[in-house]
Chains A and B, each alone.
Chain A
């Protein structure tokens, strides 16, 4: 609870910090708001005076003068509205935009371990829903300041006219504020539940569409329909609860001001009859009441909205307060110019967070220009080794070095430049193929791009695409097969021309019948370049000069592929399990004999 309050406070501070650069607009908004308020209050006063001074005593020139005055004041009011609105929206969009950029930039810098924990969907929600919640409050701030002023001025004017009448007329209105606040508080959890139900509902739709082959294959349409039916009905239930709340609240917005108008008509009317109040003032009172409806309603909404916004800002603050763990050292060393890309692991211990030990006193040297294949069962630490070379994580103890320099002593950027990695799950951006391949160096010429693609065995199929290298791919673009995506990813790494190349299961999705094409190209890429290959297929492993067998986070055997096949039972077992093809059809001996 305390923690939450602390977070909310931090959230307010964050909002304040982002509002600060907007202070001239904030002041402008308030000035225009005051102008608007003054004009808006003046109109009914002028109208009342026109009735009492002009119409009742039958003074035509007074009537005309007052009418002209009302028009002039109306022009000021319009100017006030324009300025107030523009300032308010500008501020809120500016805050939203700045906050989102800051969040994005920060997320880009945060270490892998953070992203391992966080879900993309959650982070997206921070950058969208949460920032919008903040936007909603910021947008209301100038208007709210101006509205408060209106309430204040109107209440004072009414009190000056007649205390009893003011109390009678205004008595009902605070209930509007109370009702609005209560409504917001009560409806919020229901809307959240409704959102959840809508999420569950779309979950069923999404998995049914994504898994349509399974649904159709087993004729399970009915089953999914029943589940959807249940979800649709839960939405209905929640939506009706919210509707009943609205039904209880919304009509009050008309009713409570009407009560005030009745009070004015009745009590004020009797005051007029007794000669204690002018008719014009009575009309003005009516007008004032209508003027108060919106500010009071808004105040209720603002309170509830502010609570949501501060919670949202608190959540964003939490992310911004997380410092990147992998950062540049104060005094950085640079890689030796003439380095050959020797990679060294010396007594490396590593665990993910507080998890179990993954690498256990690992010693490993990959000489410059050498190609080493890392082999091991799932969980043996292969991928971790690859990720430590790029310094995506820092070791617990021990040293990882490139050309003799501890990766922690170099600038992160230099490490990443020196090491090119192809991940197991290829991620391509919604961009043209050329831009994807030239990701490391957007300045690269098309010749360089094509050369990299050729080396990765991608040039041929890319050229066959309708727009060639300009074909837009990625999540929103043209969809490529898994193997094609991997080849683009390899080309991307090749183009960076790194000292050390890491292929983390980078050909796993390539159709086996096509893999030999890439293998030839890979051989060329690897020539003279330190390469770390993580693979299951023997044919890929055979590309390496040396094979290192990992088990339980340490090296248990090394040698050439053939040596290990001969000498290591463990190696044979691992390979047999990983490499032996999945025999989907297990045929009986009879089946083979014919």
Chain B
């Protein structure tokens, strides 16, 4: 793997060594809840004690009451049994509440903390990690923990306590018989370990097969139009059958494994009963124990074998949770590449945007920009042109400090961007991306992203300024809330690309920065809103420093200066007319562009 971090994030296995580290760290994170945790453990121990007292009381009732023909002892045993059961009931309720409350608080805290950390990471991180994988950190990984909190944790601790408790009690009741019964424990433990390992492997395969099957399913549905267009329905169904049957086979493997394990454990349990009866019977005859002890033993056997089985099953949940925690911790350990320094200062209100001898490359990769220098004066409009992959967009990203240069300096008003507060930087320099991204929420809330503390009046004011208030107010008219109160769903799929772009521009207008970085869209907008977008842009860019990543030379034509970027260098810099008249790269680009578009609509 190229990125060490990436390897960690995707690694599903967890060695014991790392598991210990995870547990230590978890204990540290749980510190704010340490008193509740201690209380929860105390509750669990007490409740388990109540559960274990039952069979002992039955044994006592039989021996002291029935065998001794003493009704008072029998009544005492029954009343005590009722009493501990009631106490167990109350304690059980309290335990689940306390454990859930600690767990859920912890998860809530973890969700917020991981997200905060995620938001503080630099763009480089987001560019090398897939969206889906990052999202799954906060969803499926934390859900794995939630499952543990909801069901597993109490059961796990309780089963462990039950097992140990039952073991202690049978020794107290009769160590001779306990030793005999204990012969059965090693085979059960060995079988459980085998089961754990075998089923873990099998489930890993099941997960893989499910993943593969889901991919075919998802693609078969998302790509159904292509499948039908090429008349491939049947063969695609065959393809699905293969992954589907593979999933079945993998599932069946897990069944075979559990078909071996569970009957075996059950059989061991019955052998235990036979041993208690057989050996216990002989002990009773020889006066070593009372018959009540035999009865109690039969009941305690349940408490020995059940927990082992349960623990075997819970182990996978626990393992999954530990793996999830480990991945979350790796994410939390990823340092933010772009951070405000402690002595950061605010950027001046205006100034020259200056790139000096900047070299840059992504991650460990080779340099994408080589020794680039350019000065952009206040109010100037500059267009970056050049072929795809030349470094235009990279340069734009450095201007807004999505990345820090490897060498050289990017400064605004004489202040190195690295020395400034991120907050002031975002106020001075704003980027309008190629494709407008909308968040769930109303249009108004989407615009407010530009300036979170803005009032409704300010928002409407910026819309008026751009002349798009009427256009946006007309959105979604007809049913439900409309206009600025229209709820954006599924990233704004109900709005056209142009309408989304208008919202994006309104955001920028609300932020009202002295410098704007625009990434021009490569594809055309819907003709309906295109002219409105144009007009709004005209207003927005007035009296601001503008850097535009131009995909159309007509855009470059209208800029004050044009910088031609090729292979990570600025190869030409000057006004459009100068460059077009010269005989360099720009001139030949311009020639071809005008030729390609000469057949188009009459020049406007």
Assess the A591–B559 pair: CB atoms within 8 A.
yes
Q: Which residues of chain A have C-beta atoms less than 8 A from B108's C-beta?
A: 232-233, 235-236
Q: Does A152 contact B (CB under 8 A)?
A: no
Q: Quick check: A585 and B559 within 8 Å, CB to CB?
A: yes
Q: Is A63 an interface residue (CB 8 A)?
A: yes
CB pair A212 B531 closer than 8 Å: no
- The main secondary structure of chain A at its interface with chain B is helix
How far apart are B269's CB and chain A's nearest CB, in angstroms?
8
Q: Are B277 and A223 in contact (CB under 8 A)?
A: no
Query: Interface SS of chain B: helix, strand, loop or mixed?
Result: helix
Q: Which chain B residue lies CB-closest to A242?
A: B150
Taking a contact as CB atoms under 8 Å apart, the answer to whether B123 and A212 are in contact is yes
Which residues of chain B come closer than 8 Å to A270, judged between CB atoms?
Answer: 71, 74
Instruction: Please report the total number of B residues contacting A with Cβ < 8 Å.
Output: 179
Whether the pair A85, B259 counts as a contact (CB closer than 8 A) is yes
Pairwise interchain contact B135-A104, C-beta atoms closer than 8 A:
no
Complex interface residues of chain B between 72 and 91 (CB less than 8 A to chain A): 74-75, 77-78, 81-82, 85-86, 88-89, 91
B426: nearest chain-A partner, CB-CB: A219
B221 at the interface (CB under 8 A from A): yes
The interface residues of chain B lying within 8 Å CB-to-CB of A587 are 381, 558-560
- Choose, from A255-263, A334-342, A449-457, the stretch at the interface: A255-263
Measured CB to CB, the closest approach of chain B to A180, in angstroms, equals 15
Say which residue of A217, A247, A474 sits within 8 Å of B219 (CB atoms). Answer: A474
B530 within 8 A of A: yes
Report the nearest B residue to A271, measured CB to CB: B66
> Which residues of chain A are near B448, meaning CB under 8 Å?
223
Interface residue A203 (Cβ < 8 Å from any Cβ of B): yes
| B35 in contact (CB, < 8 A) | no
CA A575 to CA B552, docked complex, whole Å: 17
On whether A585 and B383 interact (CB within 8 A), knowing A210-B437, A538-B597, A539-B597, the answer reads: yes
Q: Is A163 in the interface zone, CB < 8 Å from B?
A: no
A241–B66 CA distance with the chains assembled, in angstroms:
46
Interface presence of B270 (CB below 8 A): yes
Judging by beta carbons under 8 Å apart, are B263 and A585 in contact?
no
Bound-complex Cα distance A529 to B262 (A): 67
Q: Which of B74, B222, B433 contacts A217, CB < 8 Å?
A: B433
Closest residue of chain A to B535 (Cβ to Cβ) is A586
Do residues B600 and A71 form an inter-chain contact, with CB atoms below 8 A? no
8 Å CB contacts to B: which residues of A510-545? 511-516, 536-539, 542
Q: In the complex, which residues 251-291 of chain B have their Cβ closer than 8 Å to any Cβ of chain A?
A: 251-252, 255-256, 258-260, 262-264, 266-267, 269-271, 273-275, 277-278, 280-282, 284-285, 291
Bound state CA distance, A229 and B229, in angstroms? 46
Decide yes or no whether B144 CB sits under 8 A from chain A: no
A286 within 8 A of B: yes
Q: A427-B226, A509-B523 are in contact. Are A108 and B233 (CB under 8 A)?
A: yes
Inter-subunit contact A74/B387 (CB<8 Å): no
Contact among B224, B548, B596 for A584, CB-based, below 8 A = B548
Partner among B139, B222, B232, B264 whose Cβ is within 8 Å of the Cβ of A440: B232
Residues in A with CB closer than 8 Å to B248 are 93-94, 96-97
Q: Which of A219-242 contact B (CB under 8 A)?
A: 219-225, 227-229, 232-233, 235-236, 239-240, 242
**B551 contacts A by Cβ under 8 Å:** yes
- Give the residues in chain A near B227, CB-CB below 8 Å: 108
Q: Indicate if B534 sits at the interface (CB-CB under 8 A).
A: yes
A71 touches B271 (CB 8 A): yes
CB proximity to B under 8 Å, residues A171-217: 198, 201-217
Q: For A77, A208, A221, A258, which residue has the most chain B Cβ atoms within 10 angstroms?
A: A258
Contacting pair A225 B119 (CB below 8 A): yes
Query: Min CB distance, A386 to chain B, in Å?
Result: 10
| Interfacial chain B residues near A390, Cβ < 8 Å | 229
Give the Cβ gap from A224 to chain B, nearest Cβ, in Å: 6
Which chain A residue shows the least CB distance to B432? A217
* A-chain residues with CB within 8 Å of residue B427 when the two chains form the complex: 219
Give the residue of A77, A212, A262, A279 whose beta carbon is less than 8 angstroms from that of B81: A262
Which residue on A lies nearest to B97, using beta carbons? A247
Which residues of chain A are near B388, meaning CB under 8 Å?
481, 511, 513-514
In the assembly, what is the distance between CA of A97 and CA of B61, in Å? 54
In contact, A258 and B530 (Cβ under 8 angstroms): no
Q: Is the CB of A90 within 8 A of B252?
A: yes
Could you tell me the distance between the alpha carbons of A499 and B582 in the complex, rounded to whole angstroms? 48
Taking CB atoms, residues of chain A closer than 8 Å to B558 are 583, 585-587, 591-592
Give 10 closest A-B pairs by Cβ, nearest first.
Answer: A74-B270, A251-B92, A219-B426, A243-B100, A67-B278, A587-B558, A266-B78, A211-B437, A538-B600, A78-B263
Q: Give me 28 A-to-B residue pairs in the complex whose CB atoms sit less than 8 angstroms apart, sorted by A's number.
A: A51-B295, A55-B284, A63-B282, A74-B270, A77-B270, A79-B263, A85-B262, A89-B258, A89-B259, A100-B244, A107-B220, A205-B115, A205-B135, A239-B146, A242-B150, A243-B96, A251-B91, A252-B89, A261-B81, A270-B71, A286-B295, A378-B527, A420-B229, A474-B219, A476-B215, A539-B597, A581-B597, A583-B558
Additional A-B contact list (5), CB under 8 Å, known A124-B217, A207-B439, A286-B58: A71-B270, A100-B244, A101-B241, A251-B92, A572-B602
